[in-house]
Amino acid sequence: MTLTGLDVLERDGFKQLAGKRVGILTNHSSVDNSGRNAVDAMRESGSVNIAAIISPEHGFRGTAEHGVLVENSSDPATGAPIYSLYGKTKRPTEEMLKGLDVLVFDIQDIGARFYTYLTTMAYAMEEAARYGVEFMVLDRPNPITGDILEGPALDSTTVNALTAYFPVPVRHGFTAGEMALFHKDWKNLDLKLSVVKMEGWRRDMFFDETAVVWTNPSPNIRGVKAEILYPGLGCFEATNVAVGRGTDTPFLWFGAPWMKAGKIAKELSKAPLKGVTFRAEERTPAKDVYEGEKCRGVAVDIKDAGAVRALDIYVYAAYYLNKHNKKDFIIKAEEIKKMTGNSRFHEMLEAGETPAAILAGFEKDSAGFRAARGKFLLY
């Protein structure tokens, strides 16, 4: 059984927070091994002074949809203000951090660079350094393992956004604590940083092998299979293809009213894509892209989680969509640059390069990161 950083801190009586004014950057995914939220666990311990709660995208309770701004509020149990970092500001302000001794980060990430929680952590680290506030990460599993990497390292000289911040591959293989160590080193932050490590976690574990309590990290990530496919199928959000928001299978299916789904599924089934099967399947999204329209699409079934390379699936799918639906399929150049990490993917696809050539370029672009990441690994 894996104990998260929160479990370890709680077991040890929160002694590392004793006598300090604590801010916590967290949301609904921060639960202990009994399913209790970190804020509640700290409050009920009677030994933690929670002075501020700060929340990321989707809000403190995790119910706000993708891209919806969240307002500030307050916690009725503790009386502490709840500051949103997905509203008027994406970074903690001086007002939010004023009087704090330590800012604690405890949020369950999903292991994809363009998922926003760890960028929010990075912004908070930078502001904590600016205002002299200690920063503590309560570590949690990378739910799609810590030893599989996918995609090119982001070119941070040309791309900088909430979804495109760290110079790491799309599937980066870091835990939150490891990313914090990497970020402090990359930005050379003058920051007192500590990581409360997990116990019983191995790098080859998927989330469902850890016995850590599951909560949907965001409304449309509803299981480990969606997390595994997200680094690839999430890239469709930079196109005019639906990814299953508003259906019962978000990030397990992609489609559009105009898609030649039978041909795409057949091509993907012949491609060298391991651990998955594909089948043509219709869906009618209740919201988001193509709301209320019947979409022809492709369902992706995972058969061997360890063999799946989700970004490979996206590259092959985009190639075949360009082949069979060229008049209808649209890739937003600036958005896909944020997702993949540089402009090369879009340029190579438009030039007619094969998926194999594109993926070989990805591997080359991430070689430096792969060689250097070892010093940040905690497990």
pLDDT at residue 140 greater than cutoff 70: yes
Mean pLDDT of the chain: 96
User: Domain coordinates of the chain in residue numbers?
Assistant: 5-218, 224-342
**Are 161 and 338 in contact, with CB atoms under 8 Å apart?**
yes
| All residues at 6 or more sequence positions from 263 whose CB lies less than 8 Å from its CB, including other chains | 320, 324
State the Rg of the chain over Cα. 21
Where do we find the tokens 């996206």? 314
User: Distance (Å, rounded) from C-alpha 46 to C-alpha 237?
Assistant: 44
pLDDT at 142 over 80: yes
Q: Yes or no: is domain 224-342 CATH 1.10.760.10?
A: no
Axis-axis angle for helices 261-270, 310-324 (nearest 10):
130
Question: pLDDT at position 68, please?
Answer: 77
Query: Given a cut of 70, is residue 123 above it in pLDDT?
Result: yes
Given a cut of 90, whether residue 189 has pLDDT beyond it is: yes
Q: How far apart are the C-alpha atoms of 51 and 4, rounded to whole Å? A: 23
- Paired sense of beta strands 253-256 and 295-302, if any: antiparallel
Query: Residue 163: helix, strand or coil by DSSP?
Result: coil
312: tokens are: 């490979």
Euclidean distance between CA atoms 83 and 70, whole angstroms: 9
Task: Return d(Cα 251, Cα 202) in angstroms, integer.
Answer: 26
The predicted-structure confidence for 257-296, as pLDDT tens digits, reads as follows 999 999 999 999 999 999 999 999 999 999 999 999 999 9
Q: Region 137-156: what's the mean pLDDT?
A: 97
pLDDT tens, 60-105?
876 767 777 778 888 887 788 999 998 889 999 999 999 999 999 9
- Could you tell me the two tokens for 223? 């299981």
Q: Which amino acid is at 321?
A: L
pLDDT at 64: 66
Topology of the domain covering 5-218:
Rossmann fold (3.40.50)
- Segment (H or E) for 281: strand 276-283
What's residue 186's pLDDT?
97
Residue-level pLDDT at 170? 97
Contact criterion met (CB below 8 Å) for 114 and 125: no
Residue 75, judged by CB atoms within 10 A of its CB (0-12, 13-18, 19+), counts as middle
Instruction: Write down the pLDDT at residue 342.
Output: 85
